[in-house]
A = this chain, B = another copy of it.
Amino acid sequence: MENVSKIWLGPLPADSPYVKPFRMYYIQNGVEKNWDLLKVHDSVAIILYNSSRQKLVLVRQFRPAVYHGVITSEKGTFDSVDLQSFPPSIGVTLELCAGIVDKSKSWVEIAREEVLEECGYDVPVERIEEVMVYRSGVGSSGAKQAMYYCEVSDADKANSGGGVDDEIIEVVELSLDEAKRMLQKGAVNNSPPSCLMGLLWFFANKAPAAV
């Protein structure tokens, strides 16, 4: 997956379909203020639990934004990328199955498709339960994300997952002990807060009693 052989940066094209930045101006209590922000797609995320094996099902992938963020957290802005000093593996994340909302379908149907495409489980929408709806990136994008929970079994497995088109996504099964370790201080998986939130929610609401 981290088979990334070259990385370089360029300006954002004006017609980017993914990142649309602008400045919002507003008058609050009589004072003119402004805030720089961007429009990104709304999204869904799904907490997947395979009860046949008592495993949580997550995905690993190379995330360009995380790769860039890890480097800038360490050394500030940069122009060229030294793959020896900063191997692509530093940009690999462990996340919940997720996807952007860009289709004329219901959100839960999009969640159903992501579960099938990324993780290979074919389940009807009736088995996908809404957990919470919230806003990500309140300082920069304010995009909506809906989180769902779905319990699956080996009988639901329809394919090996891994994404569609040119996505490179690895399906990862975590034991409940492994998932608990992700929530300890000092664990570093480049995971987003939504993933950690989903795991905490699972342990509070769905995990087998003995865990």
Report A's interface with B, CB cutoff 8 A.
Answer: 3-13, 16, 18-31, 33, 35-40, 42-43, 62-70, 72-73, 77, 88, 91, 93, 95, 100, 130-145, 166, 168, 183, 185, 187-194, 196-197, 200-201, 203-204
Q: A73-B144, A137-B141 are in contact. Are A27 and B12 (CB under 8 A)?
A: no
**In the assembly, what is the distance between CA of A24 and CA of B25, in Å?**
29
Task: Please give, as numbers and ranges, the residues of chain B lying within 8 Å of A36 by CB-CB distance.
Answer: 12-13, 16, 18-19
CB <8 Å contact, B26 and A16: no
Number of copies: 2
**In the assembly, what is the distance between CA of A92 and CA of B30, in Å?**
18
> What are 18 contact pairs spanning A and B, CB under 8 A?
A6-B26, A18-B36, A19-B37, A21-B21, A26-B88, A38-B38, A39-B68, A65-B142, A66-B142, A69-B135, A91-B142, A93-B135, A93-B138, A135-B190, A192-B193, A197-B197, A200-B200, A200-B204
- Identify the closest chain B residue to A149 (Cβ): B185
- Identify the closest chain B residue to A202 (Cβ): B200
- Identify the closest chain B residue to A40 (Cβ): B140
CB <8 Å contact, B10 and A25: yes
- Identify the closest chain B residue to A10 (Cβ): B23
For the complex of A and B, list the 9 residue pairs with the smallest distance between their C-beta atoms, beginning with the closest. Answer: A69-B142, A66-B142, A35-B64, A197-B197, A200-B200, A65-B142, A37-B65, A19-B36, A12-B21
> Which of B23, B93, B197 has a CB less than 8 Å from the CB of A11?
B23
- Identify the closest chain B residue to A13 (Cβ): B23
CB <8 Å contact, A35 and B166: no
